[in-house]
Amino acid sequence: MSRDGKSIMLCEGAQGQPGVWLWVGVEDADAFFAEFEAKGAHIRSPPQNFDWAYEFQVEDPDGHVLRVGGEPKPGPADGVFKS
């Protein structure tokens, strides 16, 4: 994953463990979700509002989970977290 010249790379084998979870803070989670969805990413859960953030989950081919989100939206925090 990269944006504006900044990259995140998750590894497995000698460089890391499969199944790592990583939270990435963004200004507009809906815009990022639309990009991931349009590119056919494996979406684990759509954007949802929680007490701690408005976020979605996407999984890479190695089983790493990126939680992408920002500040909670006004209104109920009724998201259902997928672990």
Listed in sequence order, the residues at least 6 apart from 6 whose beta carbon sits closer than 8 Å to its beta carbon are none
pLDDT 10s digits, 25-82: 999 999 999 999 999 999 999 999 999 999 999 998 888 899 999 999 999 999 999 9
Confidence of residue 16 (pLDDT cuts 50, 70, 90): low
Q: Which residue has the tokens 């909670």?
A: 72
φ, ψ of residue 59 in degrees (nearest 5): -115, 135
Residue 2 DSSP SS3: strand
Q: Looking at residue 45, what is its pLDDT?
A: 97
Instruction: Give the number of other Cβ atoms within 10 Å of residue 49's Cβ.
Output: 18
In the chain, what is the straight-line distance between the N-terminal and C-terminal CA atoms, in Å? 21
CATH of segment(s) 18-70: 3.30.720.110
Q: Looking at residue 5, what is its pLDDT?
A: 82
Mean pLDDT of 9-19: 71
